[in-house]
Amino acid sequence: MAADTIADTKPFEIERSYDIPRADMWKAWTVRERMTQWWGPKGFTMNVRRLEPRPGGMNHYSMKTPDGHEMWGRAVFREVVPPERMVFVTSFSDADGGITVHPMNPNWPREMLTTITLTGAGGRTTVHVHWIPLNASDKEVNAFDAGHDSMRQGWGGTLDQLGDYVAGRKP
pTM here is 0.92
Average pLDDT score over residue span 103-117 = 96
**Tell me: the pLDDT tens digits for 41-89?**
888 899 999 999 999 999 999 999 899 999 999 999 999 999 999 999 9
pLDDT at 170 over 80: no
The candidate with the shortest Cα–Cα distance to 46, out of 73, 24, 77, 27, is: 73
Q: Is 4 exposed, middle or buried (0-12, 13-18, 19+ CB in 10 A)?
A: exposed
Query: Is domain 15-168 in CATH 3.30.530.20, yes or no?
Result: yes
The ranges assigned to domains in the chain are 15-168
141 CB-near residues (< 8 Å, 6+ apart):
7, 8, 9, 109, 133
